[in-house]
Amino acid sequence: MATQTQRILAMGGIQLVPDSTDWPMLQFMLDLTGRERPRICMLATASGENASGLANFYATFARRAEPTHLDLFGRKVGDIEGFLLEQDVILVGGGNTANMLAIWRIHGVDKALKSAWESGVVLAGWSAGANCWFESSVTDSFGLGLDPLKDGLRFLDGSFCPHYDSESLRRPRYEELVSGGRLPDGVAADDGVGVVYEGRGLAEVVASLPGQHAYRVQRRKGNSVEETQLRARLVR
């Protein structure tokens, strides 16, 4: 069993492929467990459990961890909570945030993840897999545009925006939603950046490449918004 410290690593975006430039971030994630060869479980629900994505996951971690995944489209695990509590890290992939949350709730994964988090299992993910831990987020789950999603798991307060530097519409749309009160104050992350939470508090920002950061985005009077850079520590 992992340590009792409650940790979440919310990443703006990563490339989950063998020998990725984001490997330092992934190694940092594994190191959070304190184990030499941690057990890591992939939840690829948001991508419909895409076979090539799962193959990349296993290829990426086979030499450094004990990888497994939770299949909900061809479910074989009866006791999901027990299965997740056996892991040291639960990694959630990108895709459709809204669909993922709906499927999780049908299968009770939301409650199982809360138990795992409270027991000290490291929770991590990028894009949809980062959005899900927060109260709300900005997402493309509902079509071609970017819209607010307000029914996240609420392990963390406020809102989240991934891909802040890599998708040109993300920053202006997130600022519009926060300044207009449609999303609460929150945090945005560039690709290659991870925001580390201990309990419900932001503990650190880390990056796998130089020049990448996270940002605190807050609503101010007059429907304006203030963006404060949260400098990232480069991990190697």
Q: For residues 138 and 177, is the Cβ–Cβ distance under 8 A?
A: yes
DSSP for 182-203, written as a single string:
SS-SEEEE-TTEEEEEETTEEE
Per residue in 1-60, pLDDT tens? Answer: 444 789 999 999 999 999 899 999 999 999 999 999 999 999 999 999 999 999 999 999
Higher pLDDT pick, 183 / 221: 183
Would you state the structure tokens that stand for residue 174, as one six-digit string?
């997130």
Is 39 within 8 Å of 88 (Cβ atoms)? Answer: yes
As annotated, the active-site residues are 127, 163
Q: What is the CA radius of gyration of the chain?
A: 17
Beta strands in the chain (DSSP E): 7-11, 39-43, 66-69, 89-92, 122-126, 134-139, 147-149, 156-161, 186-189, 193-198, 201-207, 214-220, 224-230, 233-234
Which among 31, 4, 15 is positioned nearest to 235, based on CA atoms? 31
pTM: 0.95
User: Tell me: the pLDDT tens digits for 110-129?
Assistant: 999 999 999 999 999 999 99
Query: Could you give the domains of the chain?
Result: 7-234 (3.40.50.880)
State how far the Cα of 47 lies from the Cα of 45, in Å rounded to an integer: 5
pLDDT score of 201 more than 60:
yes
pLDDT in tens, 133-192: 999 999 999 988 999 999 999 999 999 999 999 999 999 999 999 999 999 999 999 999
